[in-house]
Amino acid sequence: MDYFSTGNIAYPKLTLYAFHLKHSLSQKPKIPVDNAKDLWLKCQQLGKQLGIPKLETLPELIEKANNKKTSITGEILPERLLKFTAIQHQQNLHLSGEANPLEIHDTYALDLTLRYPDLEVKLADLRGLNPDDCLLSKNIKASLGQTLVFFAQPVGKIDDEQAFADACVKALLSKETVRKLNIYRQHQGQLLGSPIFEYNNDADFPEEQCHLLIWLNTHSQTTELENKGEYYYPLIDLLLCRSNIIYARSEAIWCYEQARSAYYKLERYKQEFQEQKNNSIDSKFDNFNQWLQEIPEISFNYVDYLRDLELHRTTIQTNIKNYRLYLDKINRIGIDSDNLEFLSNFLELAEDTFVEQINTNLAYLTPGQNLFDQMIGTIRGIVELEQAKRDRSLENTIQVLGIAFGGGAIVSGVVTQHIDKPFAPTNFKYPISPLVLSLLWSFLAVAFFGSVARLWIQLRRKGTKGK
């Protein structure tokens, strides 16, 4: 049956639960991240797009509230909810809703609900709750991710609840988005007595995620329990844990890719190291000195990636525990016929896939840390040995030159004292200038004493090695 064309629904509402990081471990304590206010600014943009002037004032109201939560449940606004009505919308439909900005631990959370308070709305008209996919993650860009929850009561009897839920998805999202969704028919259950269906595109990164819950009000107790609202905060906390898990996993994927890139660079150095045997000593010395400046930086980054991988694993494990606690709370609030097994499936995915993948990646990458250390140590040892040789050679050269020039100076002094005495027979056709003879004797003296000094140093070195 084509519910999209013929189906009607009563009191439909679409709620955006978005989560945005306020504080980061890399920032100073209590100092917000640079884009911490982006979630509220996005509400301002939505207000302009949907014709809701009151929603445009949300950033200003939060600023006046000093961005601080006013209760244990995390509300930021003193009046808790910012209620609003659109000034213009589709014919015969009146768009209204409310926003509830929250601060939960180190995270900003937004509950933004858009509703048609009408007794009967065509499914095809639901597009007005999400025009141009304005509530999807690609537009909201909440750093930790988001979930959309659609709640409404079908008008009249429906024979196929799953098909009706699929029609709601088709009405709420663009055709392109629907094509990318994975519709798992086994991902369905029952909440507060009524059927609920999960749709997800299984993207790895929060900004690409499309997570949608379709909750059909088909049970007499559902309206009463939903209005009572006891499920509200446990659901927000559960969805926050889910977003934290997906975000941590996406960060772990990024860290792994960066670590692999660093490891690849090290392998290139390793290959070049083996090729250095054909190079000259001077070339090796220059290359190794340059590497000692480059490899440690890569090594430090590599260690940081491994540390961050462990941190993200801990984050996932912690949120798995909290997710389970909030899921238990929701189960206790519901009725006996409720079935939230599809939410438990996410826990299995997180434990069996996300955590185990990080464990595998760490097992693969950790030995590389020792390889970095070994290569740095080897290259440093070679450079220090060659530098020591050069230092000894320079020291020996200075000693030889010192002895040679010292001896030459002595001889030069003796020659100078006899500068006026003849140094050649008077009958020599070309008598040698005394100055030239002085320089000649000095040169010969330098050469003689230099040779003696070099021979003495060599004999001393051999004597030292023989001990």
Residue 66: its pLDDT value, please?
77
d(CA 134, CA 51): 13
Residue 412: its pLDDT value, please?
52
Confidence of residue 80 (pLDDT cuts 50, 70, 90): confident
Predicted confidence (pLDDT) at residue 99 exceeds the cutoff of 50: yes
Asked if 285 and 386 touch (Cβ cutoff 8 Å), the reply is: yes
pLDDT digits (tens, 9 = 90+) for 63-73: 888 767 777 77
d(CA 368, CA 262): 10
Name the nearest CA neighbour of 50 among 82, 3, 97: 97
Angle 365-371-374 from CA coordinates, rounded to 5°: 155
Confidence of residue 277 (pLDDT cuts 50, 70, 90): low
Burial, 347: exposed, middle or buried (Cβ in 10 Å; 0-12, 13-18, 19+)? middle
Residue bearing the bigger pLDDT, 2 or 307 = 307
Residue 352: its pLDDT value, please?
93
Name the nearest CA neighbour of 110 among 118, 102, 122: 102
**What is the SS3 assignment for 383?**
helix
Residue 397: its pLDDT value, please?
54
Predicted confidence (pLDDT) at residue 393 exceeds the cutoff of 60: no
Which residue has 């991240």 as its token pair?
33
Confidence of residue 288 (pLDDT cuts 50, 70, 90): low
Predicted confidence (pLDDT) at residue 400 exceeds the cutoff of 50: no
Predicted confidence (pLDDT) at residue 428 exceeds the cutoff of 50: no
Predicted confidence (pLDDT) at residue 89 exceeds the cutoff of 80: no
Q: Residues 116-144: what's their mean pLDDT?
A: 93
Q: Residues 55-80: what's their mean pLDDT?
A: 86
Residue 179: its pLDDT value, please?
86
List, in order, residues 6 or more apart from 70 with CB less than 8 Å away: 76, 77, 78, 80
pLDDT digits (tens, 9 = 90+) for 180-211: 886 655 578 999 999 999 999 889 999 999 99
Q: Residues 230-255: what's their mean pLDDT?
A: 96
Residue bearing the bigger pLDDT, 60 or 457 = 60
Residue bearing the bigger pLDDT, 333 or 409 = 333
Cα 310 from chain centroid (whole Å): 13
Residues linked to residue 243 through DSSP beta bridges, in sequence order: none
Confidence of residue 369 (pLDDT cuts 50, 70, 90): low
Predicted confidence (pLDDT) at residue 283 exceeds the cutoff of 70: no
Predicted confidence (pLDDT) at residue 417 exceeds the cutoff of 70: no
d(CA 125, CA 156): 17
pLDDT digits (tens, 9 = 90+) for 11-34: 999 999 999 998 775 555 566 777
Confidence of residue 383 (pLDDT cuts 50, 70, 90): low
Q: Which of 84-88, 213-217, 218-222 has the lowest mean pLDDT?
A: 84-88
pLDDT digits (tens, 9 = 90+) for 141-165: 999 999 999 999 999 888 899 999 9
Residue 439: its pLDDT value, please?
52
Residue bearing the bigger pLDDT, 5 or 438 = 5
The pairs formed by 36-43 with CB atoms below 8 angstroms and a separation of 24 or more are: 36/108, 37/62, 38/141, 39/101, 39/108, 39/110, 39/140, 39/142, 40/101, 40/108, 40/110, 42/139, 42/140, 42/141, 43/99, 43/110, 43/112
Q: Which of 25-39, 253-267, 268-282, 327-341 has the lowest mean pLDDT?
A: 268-282
Signed CA dihedral, 33, 35, 37, 43: sign only: negative
Predicted confidence (pLDDT) at residue 362 exceeds the cutoff of 70: yes
Predicted confidence (pLDDT) at residue 398 exceeds the cutoff of 80: no
Predicted confidence (pLDDT) at residue 114 exceeds the cutoff of 80: yes
What number of other Cβ atoms are within 10 A of residue 370's Cβ? 9
What number of other Cβ atoms are within 10 A of residue 220's Cβ? 9
d(CA 222, CA 195): 10
Amino acid 418 reads H
Residue 303: its pLDDT value, please?
86
DSSP state letters, 154-206: ESS--S-HHHHHHHHHHHHS-HHHHHH-EEEEEEEEEETTEEEEEEE---SSG
d(CA 382, CA 296): 16
- What's the chain's average pLDDT? 81
- pTM (two decimals): 0.79
Q: Residues 357-378: what's their mean pLDDT?
A: 77
**What is the SS3 assignment for 92?**
coil
Q: Residues 305-327: what's their mean pLDDT?
A: 96
